Structure 1
Amino acid sequence: MRALALFAGLALVGAVLITLVSFTSAPTPAPAADPPRRETLQERLRRLPGDHRGWAELATRHIDQARLTGDPSAYTKAEGALATAAKIAPKDDAVLTGQAALAAARHEFARAAELAESAIDANPYAAAAYGVLADARTQLGDLRAAQQAVDAMMALRPGVAAFTRASYAAELRGDVETARTYLDYAHEDAWLPADRAYARYYQGELALHEGDLETAARHYADALNTYPAHIPARAGQAKVAALDGRLSEALSLYDQVVQRLPLPQYLIEQGETRIKAGLPADWTLLEAQRELYEAAGVRDDLTWAEFEADHGDPKAAVRHARAEYTRNPNLVAADALAWSLFKAGTPEKALPYARHATGTGWKNPLLTYHRTRIEHSLGLTEASGAPSVRGFDPDLPALARFS
């Protein structure tokens, strides 16, 4: 989900060296002095192996690496770093927050919430722990507790991380204008180019899911102008091109995206665009990524439920969706279970989950389309044929999912 996707960056600090020149002789240009070399975190940990917060920071970097590169093997490295940190200071809030973040990255949200709460017990001023708690509670379907965690984070440390979470909380209750406002705050507060691009990207996502391709394209372009390496914004441009019927352009953009960041979401979007263009979809790389994620301890029944429902075996989709919803009864999991049950031929069982998914007012075109299709099949609406939902193409369902 969105709040788990913040980009991190490093600030480069320059040094100014002043050279004194003798006035008693002809000035000779002084050789440029190299700035002092900064110790790396790994070097620091070799020198100070008892630095538990250093180990926790190293774990956080590995988690970021997995997110930024699509390589889940970095989670195993993060686990090792956190194990070392926990041996030194098992009750430290930074260590507990790192463990919570790793659990969330592996979709173990109940465990993530438990660890985040332990971190807060250890340090009630741990803003980062409230952020992880908000993410975990959202994924567990407890939006009230998630909002409370966001409010606490806002009170402690208003900034990009808090504003983006507040934006998502507003979006989930259907308040798109407030969601936009908080993203504006995040953009204004950000000083790292990656964070500014992140805020613009999600403004593009909001516009895209309202069917406003022009505004979405402008926000994606702004994100890339700010931070050219922002792959989600490039994927956003691909989505706009696909929805606008420029399929060759979209496929060219998706090639760039998956070469840099082969996340399952992007691979599915690429495959659906190929099908829309009359080309065969090749799911080989997607299956390879699935194996990598499973080997790294990431349990992602949600992705495979959605994929199987649209492109594979509906019965397998139901199994995955039930497993996901049992662990994480959030809005997206409810929608996945509803759609899987519908595709498996049991719309009467699907309807309660579709109503759960759309019950907060969240203006997500994918959820709206699924509920409408289910209701049509049960004769609950007078309209006939496939429903039309603004901002949604039934041939490209993955494009309506939030990355």
Structure 2
Amino acid sequence: MDAKPQQNPEPPPSTLPPQGATSVPPPPAPMRTTLRRAAFGAVAGAVLVAGAVIAVPDGDEVAAPPTPGPVARAEAAAAAGSPASLSDLTALIGDRQKWVETHPADAPSWAVLGSAYAEWGRRSADTAYYARAEQALQRSLAAQPGERGNVRAWVGLGALANARNDFLAAKKWGETVRARQPKDWTAYPVLIDAYNGLGEYAAAARATEKFGTLRKGVPALARTSEMYRNQGWREDALATAQEAADHAGTPAAKAAALHRLGDLAAERGEPAEALAQYDAALRTDRGHLASLAGRARALAALDRTDEALADYRTVTTKLPRPEYVLELAELYESLGLDGDARTQYARLRDLLTQARTAGVDESLTEARFEADHGDPEAAVELMRTEWAAQRRSAAVSDTLAWSLHRAGRSEEAVQYAERAVETGVRDASYAYHLGVIESSLGQDGPARGHLEEALRTNPGFSPLAAPLAQEALDALGEPEAGGPAAMQPPGPEPAQEPGKPERGAGDEPRTEPSPEASPGADKETEKETRPEPAPSASASAAPRAKPGAATAAP
């Protein structure tokens, strides 16, 4: 029986089996087959011996197959396109490390090892593993070039580029694989992440639909939910994410699906529901630290700040992603704990430096920090570079707009802020930034509308910015009464005074409703004469893809 996976396994060394893995790694595939056959013979012999002592019941009952070990579970997750648990991923890395030591020309094993290194680095926020991943993938291509069929190494390089936020490189690798093998589903997750990172949402939607036709099941449902979310179709995103959670077959996949439900609830301003989903994810997989960060965010929105701080301190220790450290620092600042906030801001700068050294692009988080807590001009330069490199996602548009505004260039900022809001992503901070920029330009009406939208979408979207949004809205005051006469609903006719003629000599005759007329007659007349409302933005949008485009396999 396999040992119980550790909650937080230590990262594996580059040449030795990791802590938390089995003492003797599983052998390579040919040897495993031999051992399985031997094990089956041993089990059969044991049954025969036992039959001499106790009666074996009649029937065609077959013994359950042995429970797969951590390496087999990680391999199965990769084959399905689902995440593996950290402990299983650790075991897989240790297994492949030992194998390639004695089989250095095994290109597929190097590709698996490199991809596992990249995934470990992404899941643990240990950027040092990205260099190991690149070395292993290049060793794979040296043993067997991609042009000779080693597309797995190309896919691994694409996943590595996405982990480093180098979306242009990821797009190149993904499109290279798709051009050679258009029915290979492994290229499409790389392409979806790359297109979304570049803001090419139409291309991401097409890649998502293709992925759903090639690889049905929970991974396709998860990607489809993400597509709907990016298009602003909240109900579809929620329904598809719930379907993914219902069909998830492993704890790691289930936790990822529940985390997605938590994110969707948080975005629509339901922190209690978000907290319930994050808690469910952590009960399913205690090592799903992204859900612990989500839990901290939800607790802060619920004003349970002591619990939020405790969770943030835990997650930033175990998973020190720059965005989590920035969130913790801003929570400290919102509570007036300026010393603690400065400590975290200094820590954030160190993490950003480490990321640059490891070739990871964290300029989005860095610009957000500089715009609000450092040098807005530096933030503008960072985002200008991103924009020039064709990285034009909603997040980049919004951050560039806010950086320009903070640097005193609101007239230039407004076009980028509008672009971020118009992408369809329902992020309260985007509406808040646009509202503040419009207010600074004297556009009080649009500013009021966008500030109200931000607080209506998610009243607790930020411990620092949400109170500022309310202050900005209060400063604008109520809109002035009145307006064009044509936009005012007609009032009731004044009652006629006794003895006064109803109309003058030149007036048209007044028509009174007949007592026999149906009660709904007046309403029907009103419906026919009332002007139709202008179509909403959502009504004029392109028709949606069917939510059932990606469904779980029966």
Residue pair 2:435, 2:449 contacting (<8 A) in 1 also? no
Partners of 1:183 and 1:100 in 2: CA distance: 25
Residue pair 2:272, 2:302 contacting (<8 A) in 1 also? no
Deviation at 1:24, TM superposition (A): 8.7
Partner of 1:350: 413
Partners of 1:54 and 1:151 in 2: CA distance: 30
- Give the residue type in structure 1 aligned to 2:285: Y
Question: Which deviates more from structure 2 when the two are superposed, residues 171-180 or residues 84-93?
Answer: 84-93
1:65 corresponds to which of 112, 120, 131: 120
Matches within 5 A, 1:309-328: 309-327=371-389, 328=391
1:52 corresponds to which of 107, 123, 135: 107
Residue pair 1:131, 1:161 contacting (<8 A) in 2 also? no
User: Are positions 1:102 and 2:160 aligned together?
Assistant: yes
**What is the identity percentage for the equivalent residue pairs of Structure 1 and Structure 2?**
35
1:290 corresponds to which of 344, 349, 352: 352
- Give the residue type in structure 1 aligned to 2:155: T
User: Are positions 1:377 and 2:440 aligned together?
Assistant: yes
- Give the residue type in structure 2 aligned to 1:43: K
Deviation at 1:37, TM superposition (A): 11
Matches within 5 A, 1:96-245: 96-245=154-303
Residue pair 2:225, 2:240 contacting (<8 A) in 1 also? yes
- Deviation sequence 1:73-129 (CA, Å, 0-9, x none): 000000100111111222221111111111121222111111111112232222121
- Deviation sequence 1:112-160 (CA, Å, 0-9, x none): 1111111122322221211101111111121111111111111110233
Deviation at 1:62, TM superposition (A): 0.6
User: Are positions 1:367 and 2:425 aligned together?
Assistant: no
Partners of 2:298 and 2:462 in 1: CA distance: 15
Residue pair 1:251, 1:270 contacting (<8 A) in 2 also? yes
Q: In structure 2, do the counterparts of structure 1 residues 58 and 397 end up closer, same or farther at CA, with 3 Å as the change threshold?
A: farther
Look up the SS of the partner of 1:58 in the other structure.
helix
State the TM-score, normalized to the length of structure 1: 0.88
Residue pair 2:259, 2:277 contacting (<8 A) in 1 also? yes
Q: In structure 2, do the counterparts of structure 1 residues 266 and 134 end up closer, same or farther at CA, with 3 Å as the change threshold?
A: same
Residue pair 1:73, 1:292 contacting (<8 A) in 2 also? no
- Give the residue type in structure 2 aligned to 1:21: V
Deviation at 1:394, TM superposition (A): 4.9
User: Are positions 1:306 and 2:368 aligned together?
Assistant: yes
Question: Which deviates more from structure 2 when the two are superposed, residues 181-190 or residues 294-303?
Answer: 181-190
Question: Which deviates more from structure 2 when the two are superposed, residues 42-51 or residues 239-248?
Answer: 42-51
Partner of 1:262: 320
Q: In structure 2, do the counterparts of structure 1 residues 36 and 312 end up closer, same or farther at CA, with 3 Å as the change threshold?
A: closer
Partners of 2:404 and 2:369 in 1: CA distance: 13
Partners of 1:286 and 1:176 in 2: CA distance: 33
- Give the residue type in structure 2 aligned to 1:90: P
Partners of 2:463 and 2:326 in 1: CA distance: 12
Residue pair 2:434, 2:450 contacting (<8 A) in 1 also? no
- Give the residue type in structure 2 aligned to 1:131: P
Partner of 1:247: 305
Residue pair 1:238, 1:249 contacting (<8 A) in 2 also? yes
Q: CA RMSD in A?
A: 2.7
Residue pair 1:338, 1:350 contacting (<8 A) in 2 also? yes
- Deviation sequence 1:155-178 (CA, Å, 0-9, x none): 110233322221111111110111
Partner of 1:28: none
Partners of 1:172 and 1:226 in 2: CA distance: 27
Deviation at 1:185, TM superposition (A): 2.5
Partners of 1:167 and 1:275 in 2: CA distance: 34
Deviation at 1:329, TM superposition (A): 1.0
Larger radius of gyration: 2
- Deviation sequence 1:252-292 (CA, Å, 0-9, x none): 11111112111101101111111112112112321221122
Deviation at 1:341, TM superposition (A): 0.4
Partner of 1:4: none
1:271 corresponds to which of 329, 338, 358: 329
- Give the residue type in structure 2 aligned to 1:349: E
Number of equivalent positions: 380
Partner of 2:91: none
Deviation at 1:22, TM superposition (A): 7.8
Deviation at 1:199, TM superposition (A): 1.0
* Structure with more relative contact order (C-alpha pairs < 8 Å, separation 6 or more): 1
Deviation at 1:190, TM superposition (A): 1.8
Residue pair 1:93, 1:120 contacting (<8 A) in 2 also? no
Residue pair 1:100, 1:132 contacting (<8 A) in 2 also? yes
Partners of 1:123 and 1:386 in 2: CA distance: 46
Partners of 1:386 and 1:191 in 2: CA distance: 41
Partners of 1:127 and 1:385 in 2: CA distance: 43
- Give the residue type in structure 1 aligned to 2:140: A
Q: In structure 2, do the counterparts of structure 1 residues 21 and 175 end up closer, same or farther at CA, with 3 Å as the change threshold?
A: same
Deviation at 1:393, TM superposition (A): 4.4
State the TM-score, normalized to the length of structure 2: 0.65
Q: Which runs of 5+ in 1 are unaligned?
A: 1-9, 26-34, 399-403
Residue pair 2:115, 2:137 contacting (<8 A) in 1 also? no
Partner of 2:451: 387
